[in-house]
Amino acid sequence: MKPVNKALFPSIVEKFQFDGQFVGLLPYGSGHINDTYSVIFQMDEHINRYILQRINTDVFCNPVELMENVVGVTRYLHSAITKAGGDPKRETLNLIPTVDGSYYYVDEQGGYWRAYLFIENTVTLQRARNKADFYESARSFGRFQLLLADYPAETLHETIPLFHNTPNRILQFQEALQADKKGRADKVRKEIDFVLEREEFTHVLVDLQAQGKLPLRVTHNDTKLNNVLIDAGTGLGICVIDLDTVMPGLSLNDFGDSIRFGASTAAEDEPDLSKVNFDLDLFEAYTQGYLEVAGKVLTDAEIDNLPVGAKMLTLECGIRFLTDYLAGDIYFKTAHPNQNLDRARTQFKLVQDMEEKWDAMFDIVKKHRNK
Ligand code: ADP
Ligand code: MG
Ligand code: MG
């Protein structure tokens, strides 16, 4: 992506239906994907704030389909929240139309811009301060699933095809292994075997889906804590944001990815594996929050397979890191030569730890279902 040309700002800002007198614009937040700004307008004594974002079209090569997904889902959420007696200006993203009545504007450099109402008095957390934050994110992602339970998920675009098709990730891994472009395979035989031993497991969810046993859902696909706005005063989860990767998929993908990232005791690239553990307390906090809110719309098969989702997404992510290591670090950004290997190893350590705690994971699901 070219850096944003600041000279274009006045012409970009005037393309959106913002209310009031333009006051200023500042870079905002610590998102890593898009270019995000807050835009301030004044109307009498009121300040109106908006979020203005340039979509990262290096990462998302189909911004039009992406925006169609965002429009569909935010519209639906707006009406579902209104029906449920909530505050639709705070509990979902609200797109601001352009003066032409579109939901995005393409600048003269080909940059895709969109704008949202700014949701005030919230914080974005990079890491949970405590178990309660993680539990709150579970309730928010659970509510996202609950409110969208009747959305026709098949009408959404699959903007990243086969994103969580784990057997396909194995195929890509095998290709990278065969090619062994950087001659790294010999150094990581243990990790390679770890993946190959679990090849059969990688089919479990896609098979259940093919047999019609797991429903197609609206999935978020980036269910990290930093994509939930938390109320600055109460600490409650308010709104799920960052809808760029919304696609049709399995609820277990979203659940699993939250656990993979949030229930680990260490960073994703921690080189000291003795620090990397799967934290059952955090797993329980998330499972409890998620089931309290989404439990009534999830099928028995979905609930039964929550631990499988957690392990699948962790294994899949480890496979992707190891694949990229073998291919020469072409997909994930790295700051040092072994970073993708370190990342793969943390994921495999978590998988192993989940396998050791497998029965306890199912007991936790049992404890919190049907409440
Ligand atoms: P990225 O994909 O780059 O992470 P996000 O859509 O998550 O982009 O936005 C980046 C940050 O901007 C978020 O982490 C959040 O702090 C802030 N943000 C995004 N949308 C809003 C909003 N509507 N109201 C308030 N803050 C927001
Ligand atoms: Mg984000
Ligand atoms: Mg994002």
The ranges of the chain with pLDDT < 70 are 371
Amino acid symbol at 109: Q
> What is the tens place of the pLDDT at every residue in 188-239?
999 999 999 999 999 999 999 999 999 999 999 999 999 999 999 999 999 9
Is any atom of ligand 1 closer than 6 Å to the C-beta of 41? Answer: no
What is the chain's Cα-based Rg?
A: 21
CA 56 – ligand 2 centroid, Å: 12
Q: Which ligand is nearest to the CA of 124?
A: 1
pLDDT score of 1:
82
ipTM associated with this complex: 0.99
130-149 per-residue burial string, b: 16 or more CB within 10 A, e: under 16: eeebbbbbbbbbbbbbbbbb
pLDDT score of 295:
97
Distance CA 177, CA 172 (A): 9
- What the block records as the tokens of 242 is 């960052």
235-249 per-residue burial string, b: 16 or more CB within 10 A, e: under 16: eebbbbbbbbbbbbb
126 phi/psi in degrees, rounded to 5: -80, -35
Q: Which atom of ligand 1 is nearest to the CA of 244?
A: 2
Query: Which among 358, 342, 341, 364 is positioned nearest to 278, based on CA atoms?
Result: 358
CA 109 – ligand 1 centroid, Å: 23
- What the block records as the tokens of 317 is 């992510």
- Residue ranges of domains in the chain, CATH in brackets: 6-117 (3.30.200.20), 131-368 (3.90.1200.10)
pLDDT score of 149:
98
Is any atom of ligand 1 closer than 6 Å to the C-beta of 235? Answer: no
Q: Is 151 left (phi over 0), alpha (psi -120 to 50) or beta?
A: beta
pLDDT score of 31:
84
pLDDT score of 371:
65
From 25, 51, 238, mutation site for ligand 1 pocket: most ligand atoms within 8 A of C-beta: 51
pLDDT score of 32:
84
Is any atom of ligand 1 closer than 6 Å to the C-beta of 36? Answer: yes
pLDDT score of 370:
78
From 36, 40, 48, mutation site for ligand 1 pocket: most ligand atoms within 8 A of C-beta: 36
Is any atom of ligand 1 closer than 6 Å to the C-beta of 48? Answer: no
- Decide: 362 and 307 in contact? Cβ < 8 Å: yes
Is any atom of ligand 1 closer than 6 Å to the C-beta of 223? Answer: no
> What is the tens place of the pLDDT at every residue in 70-85?
999 999 999 999 999 9
Residue that the structure tokens 């938390």 belong to? 230
Residue whose CA lies nearest to ligand 1 atom number 8: 31
85 CB-near residues (< 8 Å, 6+ apart): none
Residue 328: C-alpha distances to residues 158, 170, 175, 209 (Å): 27, 17, 13, 33
